[in-house]
Structure 1
Amino acid sequence: MQMSELTALLTPTGLSLLDTLDPVVSTADAARAVSRLRAAGHSPDLVSAVVGQAHLRAKAVAKFGDFAGRMLFTRAGLEQATRLTVAAHHASRMRTAGITRVADLGCGIGGDALAFAAAGLQVTAVDADEVTAAIAAYNLAVFGDTVTVRHGRAEASLPHDVDALWLDPARRAAGHRETRRVGPDDYSPPLGWAFEVAATLPTGIKLGPGHDRDALPADAETQWVSADGTVVELVVWTGALARDGVRRAALLLRGDKVHELTAADDAPDAEVRELGAYLHEPDGAVIRARLVGTLARQLEGGMLDPRIAYITGDAALTSPFVQSFRVRETMPAHAKTVSAALRARGIGTVEIKKRGMDVDPAAFRRKLALRGEGSATLILTRVGQRHLAVLADRVQ
């Protein structure tokens, strides 16, 4: 969004148009809205801003629920924003640690600052982009003097009157290829600066869940967060915000349920076992946190292969940390062999999962002759040097 568009939007006319516009979900919805507003004589900047915001509000419902209808966004800000259920856990950790004043450096459109303020914290929110900072100020205005929003770079905006910091470094995307390895200086603020500051003041640093583990501070708590089955972030916690004896954590949010697995370090692998009656796939947060061995021992299971994150055993399990499958049979992971087996068993609907095999599930599916009323899960994996197809039924 350009400043001219935001200026046009932040007027009684602009905000009224936005609040009365029908939801803009598709390109057809957007085209109809643009045509109607332009025909009514509204300026191009205002129309672009209003229709763009209506579209972003519709997308933002997944992260912000009903609050999305009262917020403003930028496209990049919405993509990077913490969903409200996750931000609430950030705020809860701040409160539990006794934090009363927090600086949100790189606040974006204000997702985490919303949760901090709602939890009763005094918040200083800073963003380097002028338009984004202005949008954050709008979104946080409901909290009055509880929140102060500033435009500026995090490195030059470090307050001296706060108990803790929250940092959500933005990746500098310009000129980057998708295959290029992202380094510490590819973020704003740079991660080197962020880690240095985090060593002097209690801090939470939000990173992508696939961040290079070798580049993380050795003495910090690292927590991978999964929301409704998707790993959404890695948070580095330092100082009073890090828990004693915890260096690895996998936090799972499932609706209003919260589950966590913690350890003092990466977990050693569990023993390798032959495939049993059940195969269990750990949640991605458990895998990212390298706590599969801990989980396997808790579930009294073993690893199917020392390099593959599948747990196996003979007992049926109910655990929030895994998806479980009852094994029917196994066969070589060759498309012709699998196709013949599915056809013989009348399986016309199949869920394909894979781990440890360089195979495209969609391409593999196209090679299968799927006919019949039955359904099953097909798990393609590697055990030692063997490529194995496991025909199974989902239990949970």
Structure 2
Amino acid sequence: MTNAGPGWATLGPEHGRALVAAMAEPDPSSLAAAQHLRASFGPELSAWALGQAALRKRAKAKFHRAESMLFTPTGLEQASRERVSRWRAERFRAAGVSAVWDLGCGIGADAMAFAEQRLRVSAVDADPATVAVASHNLRLVGAEPARLGRAEDAPVAPDAAVFLDPARRTARGRTWNVEDFTPPWPLVLDHLASDRFVSVKLGPGLPKELIPANVQACWVSDAGDVVEVSLWNRHPAGSCAVLLREGHPPLTLSRVKDPEAAEVGPLGRFLYEPDGAVIRAGLVADVADANGMWFLDPHVAYLSSDDPVDTAYATRFEVEAVVDYSLRAMRSYVREHGIGTLEIKKRALDVDPAALRRQLKPRGSASATVILARTTEGARAVFARRQ
């Protein structure tokens, strides 16, 4: 087992004991935890063990093996969620792939999913500490350790597929300047244009002008959170939305035919908020066309209907009241109906939900959702019940 930081030696029994002790601490980041461990393990080993314990606790939301894995702070933040990695690996397997190179593997989250789908995975990263972490994690699923090296230099086998997750962070924070991507953006484009089966993971805010022609762009929503857009070179070109939910098979929405001209109408009995992946993929009109819905505003992703529509691609709200888009009208409604739990949603209106909540002063036992929306009659505050 290899250590997870520059200059650290190979992990031995003492590291394991320190990590067990750190995991037993109620708060590994506390001064008390540091004092407890230093008395038995010294400052350097204690700092390593407590750091890993804190990362493992954070990682439980992403990984069912979190308490056995090793992490780096950046690697944990950037790692794919387990359900997303599994969906991706299943797509590789369904394409008939038997071997895949993960170029820029990070802590190995996606490489682990490939291995669990019985694909031969070769994981590569340019950072020695990250390679050590990924190697440990890959051993948990019986895969070969990660390799140290640059993606540009990887000896990818001619018949192997490729997965890339370019780092998009600089010292100034996240960036969409492709010159700052690692691996380099020209390498990513070359792989997508190749005869290999290739997928590239990117952030959901990817500027659409960066999407190459003749690739499929899939915006992925996990439990309602839009977590990524992935590019695929051996799928039908265009946009699609993928919805992943606990206990359900993946749902994929893509454009089958051009939707009818978007109908715009007044607010009906029901208001719908499309899933974020549907919105990002530009498929809101497709959902409206397929379900007899209409837009409240031609440029805003809120839909409406008079009859209830069941669709996984949008959340339904039943309208209870519509008031003027004014602080006075909204505050009066909240007070008169004893609303203490208030969910605030808005699109295309310049409002800070946190500041508005303070101004509305919700108190009471009732709960509601207020949706601030542009309608054919102007901006309105729609009080509704989530269904």
Task: Tell me if both proteins adopt one fold, taking TM over 0.5 as the criterion.
Answer: yes
Counterpart CA distance in 2 for 1:316 and 1:306 is 21
State the SS of the aligned residue for 1:170.
Answer: coil
> Is the contact between residue 297 and residue 374 of structure 2 (CA under 8 Å) also seen in structure 1?
yes
Deviation, structure 1 residue 232: 0.7
Partner letter of residue 228 of structure 1?
A
- Residue correspondence of structure 1 range 218-367 to structure 2 within 5 A: 218-239=213-234, 242=235, 244=236, 247-257=238-248, 258-263=250-255, 270-367=262-359
> Is the contact between residue 381 and residue 387 of structure 1 (CA under 8 Å) also seen in structure 2?
yes
Deviation, structure 1 residue 26: 4.0
Deviation, structure 1 residue 317: 2.3
Structure 2: segments with no counterpart, 5+ residues: none
**Structure in which a larger fraction of residues adopt helix:** 1
What is residue 6 of structure 2 aligned with on the other side?
A: 3
- Per-residue CA shift, 1:37-72, capped at 9, x if unaligned? 1112x232211111000110111111112x111110
- Residue correspondence of structure 1 range 109-128 to structure 2 within 5 A: 109-128=107-126
Which of 151, 154, 173 is 1:154 aligned to?
151
- Residue 34 of structure 2 corresponds to residue 34 of structure 1: yes
Deviation, structure 1 residue 162: 4.2
Structure 1: segments with no counterpart, 5+ residues: none
- Residue correspondence of structure 1 range 121-140 to structure 2 within 5 A: 121-140=119-138
State the SS of the aligned residue for 2:9.
Answer: helix
Which of 181, 204, 226 is 2:199 aligned to?
204
Residues 172 and 162 from structure 1, CA distance in 2 versus in 1: closer, same or farther, beyond 3 angstroms? farther
Counterpart CA distance in 1 for 2:132 and 2:114 is 18
Partner letter of residue 38 of structure 1?
R
> Is the contact between residue 266 and residue 377 of structure 2 (CA under 8 Å) also seen in structure 1?
no
Deviation, structure 1 residue 23: 4.8
What is residue 74 of structure 1 aligned with on the other side?
A: 72
Residues 371 and 72 from structure 1, CA distance in 2 versus in 1: closer, same or farther, beyond 3 angstroms? closer
Deviation, structure 1 residue 281: 0.2
- Per-residue CA shift, 1:173-219, capped at 9, x if unaligned? 21x267xx621112101223201221102111000001101110121
Counterpart CA distance in 2 for 1:204 and 1:110 is 16
Q: TM-score scaled to structure 2, two decimals?
A: 0.93
> Is the contact between residue 348 and residue 373 of structure 1 (CA under 8 Å) also seen in structure 2?
yes
What is residue 378 of structure 1 aligned with on the other side?
A: 370
> Is the contact between residue 321 and residue 383 of structure 2 (CA under 8 Å) also seen in structure 1?
yes
> Is the contact between residue 247 and residue 264 of structure 1 (CA under 8 Å) also seen in structure 2?
no
- Per-residue CA shift, 1:72-124, capped at 9, x if unaligned? 00000001111111111111011100000100000001000001011111111
- Residue 374 of structure 2 corresponds to residue 393 of structure 1: no
Counterpart CA distance in 1 for 2:212 and 2:73 is 31
Counterpart CA distance in 1 for 2:257 and 2:136 is 42
- Per-residue CA shift, 1:149-188, capped at 9, x if unaligned? 21111111141244210001112321x267xx62111210
What is residue 191 of structure 1 aligned with on the other side?
A: 185
Q: Which moved more, 1:345-354 or 1:148-157?
A: 345-354
Residues 373 and 138 from structure 1, CA distance in 2 versus in 1: closer, same or farther, beyond 3 angstroms? closer
State the SS of the aligned residue for 1:38.
Answer: helix
Residues 139 and 185 from structure 1, CA distance in 2 versus in 1: closer, same or farther, beyond 3 angstroms? same
Seq. identity, %: 41
Counterpart CA distance in 2 for 1:51 and 1:374 is 43
Residues 312 and 188 from structure 1, CA distance in 2 versus in 1: closer, same or farther, beyond 3 angstroms? same
Deviation, structure 1 residue 221: 0.6
> Is the contact between residue 136 and residue 145 of structure 2 (CA under 8 Å) also seen in structure 1?
no
Residues 35 and 269 from structure 1, CA distance in 2 versus in 1: closer, same or farther, beyond 3 angstroms? farther
Residues 186 and 25 from structure 1, CA distance in 2 versus in 1: closer, same or farther, beyond 3 angstroms? farther
Residues 373 and 12 from structure 1, CA distance in 2 versus in 1: closer, same or farther, beyond 3 angstroms? closer
> Is the contact between residue 103 and residue 165 of structure 1 (CA under 8 Å) also seen in structure 2?
yes
Q: TM-score scaled to structure 1, two decimals?
A: 0.91
Q: Which moved more, 1:286-295 or 1:364-373?
A: 364-373
Partner letter of residue 328 of structure 2?
K
Partner letter of residue 223 of structure 2?
D
> Is the contact between residue 163 and residue 199 of structure 2 (CA under 8 Å) also seen in structure 1?
yes
Counterpart CA distance in 2 for 1:54 and 1:36 is 14
What is residue 62 of structure 1 aligned with on the other side?
A: 61
Counterpart CA distance in 2 for 1:266 and 1:185 is 36
